Amino acid sequence: SQTIHQWPATLVQPVGSPLSLECTVEGTSNPNLYWYRQAAGRGLQLLFYSIGIDQISSEVPQNLSASRPQDRQFILSSKKLLLSDSGFYLCAWSVGGGTGELFFGEGSRLTVL
């Protein structure tokens, strides 16, 4: 069966520090991968999606970047965090080329102080 792992679960970082959130999917090949952010009062916002290794699209301009070094690994990064980067980050995957639901990780809560 397929599983998705996301870490760390909780992170408290000072403004200006770097960020790295990791997401790994197991039990499937060539998935579509996504990073979403859920900020207070703003709903769930799609940040990046990827249909393959090194194929990443950004949905909104921001202080973050994403990379996909391996087929089932998706990394969200920042060189210098801003206060506005605080939020709940969710990684998700879907069957590549298919139609159907997204499968979400448990989320990573980031607090920037």
| Binding site residues, another protein, CB under 8 A | 32, 36, 42-44, 46, 49, 51, 59, 88, 90, 92, 94, 98-107, 109
CB of 38 vs another protein, minimal distance in Å: 8
DSSP state of 8: -
Q: Which is nearer to another protein, 15 or 26 (CB)?
A: 26
Q: How far is the CB of 29 from another protein (least distance, A)?
A: 16
Could you tell me the smallest distance in angstroms from the CB atom of residue 51 to another protein? 6
In angstroms, what is the minimal distance from the CB of 111 to another protein?
13
Residue (58 or 67) nearer to another protein, CB: 58
Report the 3 state secondary structure along 17-66. Answer: CCEEEEEEEECCCCCEEEEEEEECCCEEEEEEEEEECCEEEECCCCCCEE
**Closer by beta carbon to another protein, 19 or else 89:** 89
- Residues 25/72, Cβ–Cβ less than 8 Å: yes
C-alpha to C-alpha distance for 42 and 55, rounded to whole angstroms = 27
Nearer to another protein, 13 or 32 (CB): 32
Cβ–Cβ under 8 Å, residues 93 and 28? yes
